[in-house]
Structures are given as C-alpha cells and as structure tokens.
Amino acid sequence: MSEQLLRLDRVTVRFGGLTAVNELDLAVAPGELVGIIGPNGAGKTTVFNVITGVCRPGEGSVSLDGEGISGMPVHEIAARGVARTFQNIRLFRGMTVFDNVRVACHAGLPRGLHHSLLRTRAWAAAEEQARLRADSLLEVLGLAARRAAPAASLSYGEQRRLEIARALALKPRLLLLDEPAAGMNPSEKADLIGLIRRIHAEFGLGILLVEHSMSVVMGLCTRIAVLDYGRKIAEGSPAQVRADPAVIEAYLGESAPHS
C-alpha cells in the first residue's frame, strides 16, 4: 500500500466537544478519482482542511507519497503538490483573471531581492515561463477570452473554472475539489463533468471530490467514500455505494438517488 498518493490514517479532528472527523482512513492512488459524499455537516470540508494543513488532526496522520505532511504550514503542503478549490469561491477579486492564475505559477521563480530589482536574465526567463503557463491554463479552461477581465466580474461558472485553473497552476499531484457543481444547473453540471474528465486525463492527477450532486459524483468517480457524523460508513464503487443499506438509511433516505 506504499504507492498511495494520499493516505489518511485514523485521522480525528475535534472542535471542542464536536468530533468533526472520526478515525477516518482514506487513500487516493496516483491518478485515481475519488469522491466523498455525505449529508451536510458530515465533515467533508474538514477532511479537505486537514489534508491542506488548514487544521491539524488531533489524532492520526496524513501522508503524501509516503511523507508525513500533517502539521506542515499550508503553503508548504501546497508546494508539495496539493491544490484545492473552495466551497465558497475564493478568488483574488481585485486582480485580473490572468493574474489570478499567474500568481500561483511561482514555482521556479528566482528568489532574492536583486532578481526582481535588477530584472536579471534568470528573472526574465522565469517570468516569461510563468506567463506562458498561465495563458495555457486559461486556454485549457476556456477562459482565454476573459484574460484581462477583473476576476470579480466573471460569471459564477467562470469563477469556478478560474479557481480550478489557479489550482492547476501549482502543478499539483493531487487536486481537491470542494463542491465544484454547487449552484449549477443540469447543463452546466454536464459541462463540468466533461471538464473534470479532461483535466484528469490531461494532467494525470489524483482528484478528490466533495460533492452533493449525485449525477456528478456517480458520473465521475471510480470509488466513493460516504461520511456521516465524521465517520466513514461505506466505501466502494458507485454501484456498491448506491446499494449499501447503511448509506441509503443515513444519507439518501427512503427514496433512490436522483440527479
């Protein structure tokens, strides 16, 4: 099991008396697309916050490619190849679409004051690289035409895509998508499924997806983990999860899942 990209080992997170995540085991293999579902308040976003270092696990450990990352600062975990989007979109609203992506293309830029003050050759080359990469990501996500627009002026769907572009700019090995389909209509959801498939194939990423929309999760993921009150109550293929009585009772209720 050492070839797992991401591994959560008996992770527990408590906020005061509330146990948000309870002894969670979870693994994502390189290039795998895994979904997390669960009712509101099941601890899904907390799992993301633990993985990205926003909160520390009280017990248990998180490792990336076998290296323990729990307790590392957020930016170091990001630099190791874990990128994320947010449930409530968090863009750099005062900056242009292009700059939102470019700011995350900082890997490989020379450090040191003299580089930026004197515009050295190394600085110029790295700067050009960052610009090219930002532009190619905007192309992939269909935002090239909005390049110079302020991020705040984008439509809701475009803002979601811009967040994904910014996350991809980190050259991640693992991409965490927090409810990317929230608030989308069925045709937008279909587009999103196509987009996530394309990114998954093109960049060869492991993707962990938190989502409420059954059509999106069932359509994309090869494996799904179901959380309820911070505990994993089921895990398996979409068909297995859909048939699991515990899931039906805790999450889906009496009726069968619908889109």
Partner 1 sequence: MIGRRHLPTLFLVLSLVGIGVLSANSGALNPYFLDVAVGAGINIILAVSLNLVNGHTGQFSLGHAGFMAVGAYAGAAVTLFAGPAVLVGTEAALPHALLFLGALTVAGLVAAFAGLAVGLPSLRLHGDYLALVTLGFGEIIRVLLQNCEPLGGALGLFGLPAYTTLGWTFGAAAITIYTVHMLVNSTRGLGFHAVRDDELAARASGLDLTRIKLSAFLVGAFFAGVAGALFAHFKLSIDPKGFDFTRSVEIVVMVILGGMGRTWGVVTAAVVLTVLPEYLREFSDYRMVSYALILVLLMLLRPHGIFGEKRPTPPPPTRP
- Which chain residues interact with partner 1 by CB under 8 A? 52, 54, 73-75, 78-79, 83-84, 86, 89-95, 99, 102-107, 109, 116-119, 123-124, 126-127, 130-131, 150, 152-153, 155-156, 159, 166, 169-170, 182-184
Smallest separation (angstroms) from partner 1 to the CB of 243: 29
In whole angstroms, what is the distance from residue 34 CA to residue 241 CA? 13
Cβ proximity to partner 1: between 10 and 119 the closer is 119
CB 206, CB 196: distance < 8 Å: no
Cβ proximity to partner 1: between 92 and 229 the closer is 92
In whole angstroms, what is the distance from residue 61 CA to residue 71 CA? 9
- How far, in Å, are 25, 31, 51, 62, 231 from residue 226 at the CA level? 12, 20, 17, 19, 8
Cβ proximity to partner 1: between 181 and 193 the closer is 181
In whole angstroms, what is the distance from residue 29 CA to residue 65 CA? 9
- What strands lie across the sheet with 82-84, from one edge to the other? 82-84, 174-178, 206-210, 33-37, 223-228, 231-236
Smallest separation (angstroms) from partner 1 to the CB of 229: 23
Cβ proximity to partner 1: between 106 and 198 the closer is 106
Cβ proximity to partner 1: between 36 and 130 the closer is 130
Question: What phi and psi, each to the nearest 5 degrees, are found at residue 196?
Answer: -65, -40
Smallest separation (angstroms) from partner 1 to the CB of 2: 26
How many distinct helices (H) and strands (E) make up the chain?
10, 10
Smallest separation (angstroms) from partner 1 to the CB of 153: 5
Sole residue written with tokens 């308040």: 41
Cβ proximity to partner 1: between 29 and 149 the closer is 149
Smallest separation (angstroms) from partner 1 to the CB of 118: 7
Smallest separation (angstroms) from partner 1 to the CB of 28: 18
